[in-house]
Chain A
Amino acid sequence: MPSYEKYIVKPFDWADRPLIHHDREVMNTLGPLMAFLNTDMVSEADLNIFVHHIDVKTPPGPDYVGIHAHDVSQAYVFPQPGITFEVTLGEETYTVDSPATVFIPPRLKHTVKIIEGSGIEVSIVRNEKYEQSLAENGDG
């Protein structure tokens, strides 16, 4: 196998695997969560990337992630129009229409909820494995 082919990877459905702070069963009612990059897929990867395919059938969408923090930065990217989401940053809550980006500095407590619409969300954590980035106690 040539040396760099390992850097090209196909995504897979995270399915019923656990994701800390997330209710996977509820999350899956919105649509499949696809793993696009982590250290199990590429051992040197220092980015963790998920793509969530979302379709809210009965607005508002369900709560599926508790408030939490990472010790590294994260970004939620909603690349296309069609989704309204609510994001909590520290003690502040905002409702936003896509397309949009939310940048979350290290240790800032946050959560996200999809209110309505359909499309994709790209979650990027600037670290290796998602679980390794979780902070014990966040700020905000």
Chain B
Amino acid sequence: MGEYEKLIVKPFEWGDRDLVFHSAHGLEELGPLVAFLNREMVDGADLNLFVHHIEVKGDDAPDYVDVHVHDVSQAYVFPEAGLRFEVILGEETYQADSPATVFIPPGLRHNLKILAGKGIEVCILRKGYYG
């Protein structure tokens, strides 16, 4: 094993582990949440990355995350077409279709709900752990 092989990591399903502000049941109802990077996977990592594989099966998509805030910036990236989502930023609510990015500055209250469709969301937090 070379010095830098530790920087290449395979993702794993978050399963029933806790995720602050989030309902594991609601997340799982949409599809598996997969951890792609955090400081436990790579010592010293200053990014936390999740990929959520999403499929809204019924007409009533679940609420799964409370309005919350981080002390660093965050981005939701929807890389491909096929999802419709609702995002709360401060006191404002928007609906948008993928592909799209939502940038969330430090200290801004926010929330996310997937309304319809199928695809992936990449959640990027600018520190090595989620919180």
| Residue ranges of A at the interface with B (Cβ–Cβ < 8 Å) | 2-5, 7-11, 34, 36-37, 41-42, 44-47, 49, 51, 73, 75, 77, 79-80, 87, 89-90, 92, 94, 96, 99-105, 108, 120, 122, 124, 126, 140
Contacts and interface: CB of A to CB of B under 8 A. Distances in A.
A99 B126 CA distance: 21
Interface residues of B, number: 43
A79 B120 contact: yes
A110 to B, nearest CB: 9
B79 A8 contact: no
B26 interface: no
B37 A77 contact: yes
A10 to B, nearest CB: 6
B71 to A, nearest CB: 13
A102 B100 CA distance: 23
Nearest to A45: B103
A9 B101 contact: yes
Contacts of B100: 8-11
Contacts of A73: 45-47
B8 A34 contact: no
B3 A92 contact: yes
Interface of B: 2-5, 7-11, 34, 36-37, 41-42, 44-47, 49, 51, 73, 75, 77, 79-80, 87, 89-90, 92, 94, 96, 99-105, 108, 120, 122, 124, 126
A47 B104 CA distance: 11
B73 A46 contact: yes
B11 A124 contact: no
A8 B37 contact: no
A37 B11 CA distance: 23
A133 to B, nearest CB: 13
A35 to B, nearest CB: 9
Contacts of A87: 8
Nearest to A72: B46
B4 A10 contact: no
3 nearest interchain CB pairs? A4-B89, A89-B4, A92-B2
Contacts of B8: 87, 89, 94, 96, 100-102
Contacts of A47: 73, 75, 103, 124, 126
A115 B20 CA distance: 38
